[in-house]
Amino acid sequence: MAAAESSASTTITELFDDIAELYEDFSGTLDSAEHPLSEWMAAHLPKGRRALDIGCGAGRYTVMLASLYDEVVGADAAPAMIDIARRDRSRPNVDYQIRDAFDMTPAKDGLFDVVFGFSSVFLMGKPRVILPHLAALVAPGGALVVFEPERPADYGQDNWRINFAFKVARTAFDVTGRLESSVNVLRLFSHRNWVEISERTAPMNGQEFRREYTAALPGSRFLENVFPGLLTAYWQRPAR
């Protein structure tokens, strides 16, 4: 479906399909040796064999998980994103699947030592619905680890997008030191598909994030300053 044809009946998946390459360019702007998320993952994710990258997009973080776990599933509902992942980030121990998060169940997919979501879970539904569903996929002793974009507390639900776009563009420049990174952010955030996605799924501010995650998953821990501009929640299932 072309961007010009988007409507209320267009799904989030279809909207992402049309901007997959643009979103991949945007994601690449956040890569930086100064903020090596792979090192944090190696130090803080639970040990084990299996990992799930839910809403994996083009597999940028799936391959990081692949260096830590024997078997990794990268799942995303947008076929165009999975096409990029398979094209650019294929690994022998990674299985990329076109799957909606709610289609994944312990009965069909088993349990995972880590379920990881980077800037994706807020797009999947209300926290008190999606988070327990994802937590059910976590093996005993394993963890659900979620990174989400933070809407500053002084940005209301309405008319927040312009300020948010420039905030993220500034973060991209701070992380990479490249003006092109900021331009990539603004190209994405001004695209009509992204505007529609943002209208449907506004990110939470820090207070909302903590409240919703605590209500959905009691015992969640909130980690500070792991990745610029993102909130981090870490929930661990007790070991048997």
pTM above 0.85, yes or no: yes
Q: Hey, where are the domains in the chain?
A: 9-16+35-155+205-236
Tokens 């995303």, residue?
76
Whether 35 has a pLDDT exceeding 60, the answer reads no
Mean pLDDT of 104-108: 98
**E strand map for 50-199:** 50-54, 71-76, 94-98, 112-118, 138-149
Query: DSSP letter at 177?
Result: -
Specify the pLDDT at position 126.
93
Q: What distance in Å separates the CA atoms of residue 136 and residue 5, rounded to the nearest whole number?
A: 37
User: Looking at domain 9-16+35-155+205-236, does it have CATH number 1.10.3260.10?
Assistant: no
The per-residue b/e assignment along 71-85, b for 16 or more CB within 10 angstroms, e otherwise, is: bbbbbbbbebbbbbb
Q: Are strands 230-236 and 138-149 parallel, antiparallel or unpaired?
A: antiparallel
